[in-house]
Amino acid sequence: MRILVVNCGSSSLKFKLYDLTAAETPALLAEGLVEEIGREKSRFTYKSHKSPNKLVLEVVAKDHTQAVSAMKDALLHPEHGLFKDKIEVDAVGHRVVHGGEKFSNSALVTPGVRAAIEECIAIAPLHNPPNLAGITACETIFPGLPQVAVFDTAFHQTMPPHVFLYGLPYEQYEKFHIRKYGFHGTSHEYVARRCAELMKKDFDKLRIITCHMGNGSSITAVKNGKSFDTSMGLTPLEGVVMGTRTGDMDPAVVLYIMDRQKLSPQEMNTLLNSKSGVKGISGISNDMRQIMEKAEAGNNRAQLALDIFVYRIVKHIGAYVAAMGGADAIVFTGGIGENATTIRAKILEPLAFLGAEIDQVRNASDAKEKIVTRDGSRIAVWVVPTNEELSIAQKTKTIIESQVSAG
């Protein structure tokens, strides 16, 4: 079965085409990225097993439909494409950021599903509109092809009410659905399952803390195979300090700044989401490699940003160990979690008392997937590269197969 995975942002479209015929050995056939959608000219990068050297092209993609068209043209290209006259795929899997309370699983896109995604625009105004635009574009360019929505929030729908409710008047939840939802669910589930496989243990009997650390970062407590708690909330702003987001903060700060500095909700939103976090604290960048370099060179604010980033993650891990009554494993993933050896070491240092004993040689090894604690460490710590696109493809395949067997 061939599955095309599409991930649309406001000005970008990322895609990967998988052959999942052999479930154990999925094959990535092609991948590409259209950037700067909406400008006069957009940048298109494309790679396939027929043209392993990355092609960089200029295309016209004034909207997501034209971007999908560019993707189709590349896949049908006489030299670099994979197909002759027709794109032969079985379904398209779309990353959809917010599924609200309606989706605890992926779903075949129907008018009802589309309406539910639209309803979530109010709480995910940056993410759900481009996700929907990607679905509409694929429906237009590939009429009749099944489209599946895979939600970032779905895995976290198992959180119990005493975990997902805020200390607000209950009507705020009843009337306006204000609660913790959590994000990066596809990644947290994927790396937690892989960790259980690597440990040769039953996923449903483990307590795993997954740390997805990239531009956006979130920590999840996975208890007996289910998301029990997660650091992001109604939106991805809650939780640990991120590249450009504040993470947890006294909500009164927001009111105080808006009042004293006369900021509009829009301006405040930009301050909280795009100007804060590691970038805002350091005054340098949200790129962790750059922050580490500057901190190493003696820049105090880069060091402070790094210390705050690490501290907040340690605090969340500690809280989740307590919340689950212990932990069997911690998993690091995402650009920072997978690559930043020293940040992993710094996070684990204060956690040694819990029984997470780092092995410095293992931590510094070049292996992509690895255990970084000593043999016999009470908590096993793993690095597992995330693969959200592959996971979306697999979930899409499951939905398509269930439709076939039901129909």
Catalytic sites, residue numbers? 152
Angular region, 346: left φ>0, alpha ψ -120 to 50, beta rest: alpha
Q: Tell the smallest beta-carbon distance from residue 223 to ligand ADP (Å).
A: 25
Contact call for residue 59 and ligand ADP (CB under 6 A): no
Q: Tell the smallest beta-carbon distance from residue 232 to ligand ADP (Å).
A: 12
Q: Which is nearer to ligand ADP, 130 or 334 (CB)?
A: 334
Residue with tokens 């931590």: 363
Q: Which of 272, 330, 335, 351 binds ligand ADP (CB under 6 A)?
A: 335
Q: Which is nearer to ligand ADP, 142 or 332 (CB)?
A: 332
Q: Which 175-204 positions form the footprint of ligand ADP (CB under 6 A)?
A: none
Amino acid present at 1 = M
DSSP run (H or E) holding 258: helix 252-260
Q: Which is nearer to ligand ADP, 66 or 246 (CB)?
A: 246
Contact call for residue 9 and ligand ADP (CB under 6 A): no
Q: Which 282-311 positions form the footprint of ligand ADP (CB under 6 A)?
A: 287-289, 292
Q: Tell the smallest beta-carbon distance from residue 268 to ligand ADP (Å).
A: 23
Cα–Cα distance measured from residue 369 to residue 362, given in angstroms and rounded to the nearest whole number: 11
Contact call for residue 334 and ligand ADP (CB under 6 A): yes
Q: Which is nearer to ligand ADP, 81 or 335 (CB)?
A: 335
Contact call for residue 71 and ligand ADP (CB under 6 A): no
Q: Which 371-400 positions form the footprint of ligand ADP (CB under 6 A)?
A: none
Q: Which ranges in 19-160 belong to alpha helices (H)?
A: 64-75, 111-119, 128-141
Strand, helix or coil for residue 170: helix
With contact defined as beta carbons under 8 Å apart, do 85 and 76 qualify?
Answer: yes
Contact call for residue 31 and ligand ADP (CB under 6 A): no
Q: Which residues contact 61 (CB under 8 A, 6 or more apart)?
A: 13, 34, 36, 37, 38, 42, 44, 67, 69, 70
Residue with tokens 């987001």: 245
The count of residues interacting with ligand ADP (CB under 6 A) is 13
Neighbours of 163 (CB within 10 A): 17
Instruction: Pick the stretch among 73-81, 92-100, 330-338, 344-352 that binds ligand ADP (CB under 6 A).
Output: 330-338
Q: Which is nearer to ligand ADP, 75 or 330 (CB)?
A: 330
Q: DSSP characters for 130-154?
A: HHHHHHHHHHHHSTT--EEEEESSG
- Letter string b/e over residues 326-344, b meaning 16 or more CB atoms within 10 A of that residue's CB: ebbbbbbbbbbbbbbeebb
Contact call for residue 247 and ligand ADP (CB under 6 A): no
Residue with tokens 């040689």: 361
Tokens read off for 277 = 């976090």
Q: Which of 224, 274, 339, 365 binds ligand ADP (CB under 6 A)?
A: 339
Contact call for residue 243 and ligand ADP (CB under 6 A): yes
Cα–Cα distance measured from residue 335 to residue 213, given in angstroms and rounded to the nearest whole number: 6
Q: Tell the smallest beta-carbon distance from residue 336 to ligand ADP (Å).
A: 4
22 backbone dihedrals φ, ψ, rounded to 5°:
-95, 105
Contact call for residue 340 and ligand ADP (CB under 6 A): yes
Q: Tell the smallest beta-carbon distance from residue 154 to ligand ADP (Å).
A: 19
Contact call for residue 336 and ligand ADP (CB under 6 A): yes
Q: Which 211-240 positions form the footprint of ligand ADP (CB under 6 A)?
A: 214-216
Count Cβ atoms within 10 A of the Cβ of residue 193 and give its class: 0-12 exposed, 13-18 middle, 19 or more buried.
Answer: middle
Question: Which residue has the CB atom at the shortest distance from ligand ADP?
Answer: 335
Q: Which is nearer to ligand ADP, 122 or 364 (CB)?
A: 364
Q: Which is nearer to ligand ADP, 142 or 183 (CB)?
A: 183
With contact defined as beta carbons under 8 Å apart, do 46 and 76 qualify?
Answer: no
Count Cβ atoms within 10 A of the Cβ of residue 259 and give its class: 0-12 exposed, 13-18 middle, 19 or more buried.
Answer: exposed
Q: Tell the smallest beta-carbon distance from residue 306 to ligand ADP (Å).
A: 10
With contact defined as beta carbons under 8 Å apart, do 328 and 379 qualify?
Answer: yes
Q: Which is nearer to ligand ADP, 120 or 288 (CB)?
A: 288
Instruction: Pick the stretch among 31-39, 163-171, 209-217, 248-256 that binds ligand ADP (CB under 6 A).
Output: 209-217
Q: Tell the smallest beta-carbon distance from residue 291 to ligand ADP (Å).
A: 8
Which residues in this chain contact ligand ADP in the complex, by CB under 6 A? 214-216, 243, 287-289, 292, 334-336, 339-340
